[in-house]
Amino acid sequence: MQFKILAPIVIIFLMIAFASLSPVKALSQPSLNFEPDEKYYTTSPCNNVIIEIKMDNNLGEPDCASVEYPAITAVMDDPALAEFVGPPHTAHVKIDGWEADVNGVFEMINFSWPPKFTLEGGPYPSVTWNVSESLPGDESLYINITVHCLAPGEVIIKVFPRATEDHHETAPLLSQIADKKNIWTPDGTHYYPVHNSYDNWDVDINSGHSWEPNSWTPKYEPSDLAYAKISIYITQTAVPEFAFDPYILVSFGAAAYLLLPRITKRKRK
């Protein structure tokens, strides 16, 4: 009788023990992607352009690891044509039900404009937004960036996930990483940089770089395909758009028609 009572308990304990020994499915490394990877805007000087950007973390891969400390940098090729609105360079960011206004950090940086990947260029104006919320696998980050147009011409803006400036021989603990940007962990303890995040310039190597997969080894490639990015093209026309707004022209004409008789009568007196 005692055996019959104990048997179910023993079976339950054995099931728990075997479950704890079963292998845990490993998370795949995150990989960032912009969709689309190009955007075009046409406007006129003195106008603001709100650029809407979507960055994905391995869409369709729910077993992908989260990106911790997501960071996005936008860099502009010609500050005579446009400028990032700010300070505080606020951008609205949304991730999986979470959203907030995030203030950006402005800095002048060197940047390799493809295809001249190993030639120093700049410094160029840039803003980096550091996001406190993690970006889970199979999810997207949405960010709205505001640019103020200054003069006719075409300005190019590159937006990319900013890589950490840390360099390590082996996977460190989180506390050992000084510059926490776009990192991930396969085991909850040790961390790697997201492989297609981008360090825009390292003085000692005279180049920018991404990372080898699952590694702290920099990856050097003579193209812009080694890292995630979106290219923004803003073309500014020479004549302000409001000059051709028919509503304004009609309104101006109506006002002139109504006021002109009164003005002439006053002059006759």
Tens of pLDDT, residues 40-69: 999 988 899 999 999 999 998 889 999 999
Q: Give the per-residue pLDDT at 223.
A: 59
Pairing of strands 38-43, 71-76: unpaired
The pLDDT, as a whole number, for residue 212 is 93
pTM (two decimals): 0.78
Higher pLDDT, 202 or 196: 196
Residue 246 banded pLDDT, cuts 50, 70, 90 = low
pLDDT (tens digit, 9 = 90+) per residue, 249-265? 445 455 545 554 554 44
Lowest-confidence pick of 76-90, 150-164, 221-235? 221-235
pLDDT at 33 over 70: yes
The chain-wide mean pLDDT, for the chain, equals 82
**pLDDT greater than 60 at residue 117:** no
* pLDDT in the model for residue 44: 85
Instruction: Map 209-221 to HEC letters.
Output: EEECCCCCCEECC
Q: What are phi and psi of 154, to 5 degrees?
A: -115, 125
pLDDT of residue 4: 52
Is 248's pLDDT higher than 80? Answer: no
Whether 90 shows a pLDDT value over 60: the answer reads yes
Joined tokens for residue 221: 């490639």
Question: Quick one: pLDDT at residue 254?
Answer: 52
- The answer to whether the CB of 210 falls within 8 A of the CB of 224 is no
pLDDT of residue 49: 96
From 37, 94, 25, 99, select the one nearest 61 (Cα to Cα).
Answer: 25
Indicate whether 230 pLDDT > 80: yes
Taking the mean position of all CA atoms in its chain, how far away is CA 29? 19
Please state the rounded mean pLDDT for residues 171-191: 97
Distance CA 105, CA 126 (A): 8
Does position 85 have pLDDT exceeding 50, yes or no?
A: yes
Cα dist. 264→111, 131, 150, 252 in Å? 62, 63, 40, 18
Q: Using the 8-state DSSP alphabet, how is residue 101 labeled?
A: E
Is residue 166's pLDDT more than 80?
yes
